[in-house]
Amino acid sequence: MQKTVIIIVGPTASGKTALSLQLAAHYKTSIISADSRQCYRELNIGVAKPPEAALQSIQHYFINSHSIHDNVNAQVFETYALQAVEEIFANNNVAIMVGGTGMYIKAFCEGLDAMPEIDPSIRETIIQQYNLQGLAWLQNEVKEKDPVFWQQAEQQNPQRLMRALEVITSTGISITLLRKQEKKTRHFQVKKIGINLPKQQLHENINSRVDEMIREGLVEEVRSLLPYKNLNALQTVGYKEVFDYLEGNCSLAEAIEKIKSNTRQYAKRQLTWFKKDKEVEWVEKYEDVDSP
């Protein structure tokens, strides 16, 4: 059998983790997380990591592998995941990858063009200005300094916008010109499975998950991270809204509603990204999944 990586994609709260555990148990193999937040040891409740029992029974890569103080991006993930898959293939013909970070999965499957090293002071300045002045400031900066990227950008995604801004500030070159889009050839085959729930069910799952996170102690987790609130790893849904509450900018009820709303918007962006990938086989329930 040819070496195969089964990649499970889809929006947050669609059931990707449950399916990955089911497939990993079936193939007696390991899982590589393709989630840009579950890799951080300091983040737990707000990033919906798999249950501890699952982490104990099935080996997971790229979960609790890094610190919020590390610079983690798609290039880091590509290198890490390719090494992980070689470890898995040493004993198994199948590896499972699961996650909703589209750029990470694209990097793993197709490779990334080499990006320039960015002066940490430039990155820190942009993050600070974004924290002070918000998304509108960031959007205006990118629109003015890199109009070519702006036309094709995810304009509501601060991480993508900050990355483009730091590249053009450091190099004077648009990030779009540094992307040659030359796909690299991998020695294994890839099978992509996408979970696409009905919209109402997905929204119900998101709302229930957020309520469960609050019951499990999300507010206390975020409180313990207050000294690090300006780190890039914490500019993310579930954390920034609770930071606002802890700093007295809104009530807890308002923060919870913002988390739910922002998570729904994030899920919509994820679905838009993955729907563009013609290699994804879409299913609505686990029974629809065939073996490779």
Strand partners, 194: 9, 282
State mean pLDDT over 83-88.
Answer: 98
Pair (107, 19) in one structural domain = yes
Q: Mean pLDDT across the chain, nearest whole number?
A: 92
pLDDT of residue 177: 78
State mean pLDDT over 27-52.
Answer: 97
pLDDT of residue 154: 80
pLDDT of residue 235: 86
pLDDT band of residue 290 (cuts 50, 70, 90) is low
State mean pLDDT over 26-35.
Answer: 98
What pLDDT, in 10s, does the model give residues 101-139? 998 999 999 987 767 777 778 888 898 899 889 899 999
Q: How many domains does the chain have?
A: 3
Pair (160, 238) in one structural domain = no
Question: Is 52's pLDDT higher than 70?
Answer: yes
- State the CATH number of the domain containing residue 216: 1.10.287.890
Yes or no: say if 271 and 9 are a contact pair by the CB < 8 Å rule: no
- State the CATH number of the domain containing residue 185: 3.40.50.300
Pair (76, 152) in one structural domain = no
Note down the domain range covering 173.
120-178
Query: How far apart (Å, rounded) are the C-alpha atoms in residues 63 and 197?
Result: 25
Question: Is 1's pLDDT higher than 80?
Answer: no
- Those residues with Cβ within 8 angstroms of residue 121's Cβ, 6 or more apart along the chain or in another chain: none
State mean pLDDT over 24-49.
Answer: 97
Pair (33, 109) in one structural domain = yes
CB burial class (10 A; 0-12, 13-18, 19+) of residue 3? middle
Pair (66, 185) in one structural domain = yes
- State the CATH number of the domain containing residue 153: 1.10.20.140
pLDDT of residue 289: 57
Pair (282, 188) in one structural domain = yes
Strand partners, 9: 194
Pair (100, 39) in one structural domain = yes
What pLDDT, in 10s, does the model give residues 223-260? 999 999 988 889 899 999 999 999 999 999 999 999 99
Pair (61, 90) in one structural domain = yes
Pair (77, 191) in one structural domain = yes
Pair (149, 128) in one structural domain = yes
Yes or no: say if 154 and 160 are a contact pair by the CB < 8 Å rule: yes
pLDDT of residue 181: 60
Query: How far apart (Å, rounded) are the C-alpha atoms in residues 157 and 138?
Result: 10
What pLDDT, in 10s, does the model give residues 7-16? 999 999 999 9
Q: Which residues of 247-268 are buried (b: 16+ CB within 10 A; e: fewer)?
A: eeebeeeebbebbbebbbebbe
- State the CB neighbour count (10 A cutoff) for residue 167: 22
What pLDDT, in 10s, does the model give residues 86-100? 999 999 999 999 999
pLDDT band of residue 6 (cuts 50, 70, 90) is very high
Please report, in angstroms and rounded to a whole number, the separation of the first and last CA atoms in the chain.
10
Determine phi and psi for 241, rounding to 5 degrees: -70, -40
Pair (35, 127) in one structural domain = no
Query: How far apart (Å, rounded) are the C-alpha atoms in residues 13 and 225?
Result: 24
In Å, how far are 30, 40, 228, 236, 262 from 233, measured between CA atoms? 26, 8, 9, 7, 17
Query: How far apart (Å, rounded) are the C-alpha atoms in residues 32 and 259?
Result: 26
Question: Is 275's pLDDT higher than 80?
Answer: yes
Half-sphere exposure of 224 (CA within 13 A, CB side): 9
CB burial class (10 A; 0-12, 13-18, 19+) of residue 278? exposed
pLDDT of residue 142: 94
Query: How far apart (Å, rounded) are the C-alpha atoms in residues 101 and 12?
Result: 10
Pair (57, 127) in one structural domain = no
Please choose, from the candidates 93, 101, 89, the residue with its C-alpha nearest in 3D space to the C-alpha of residue 10: 101
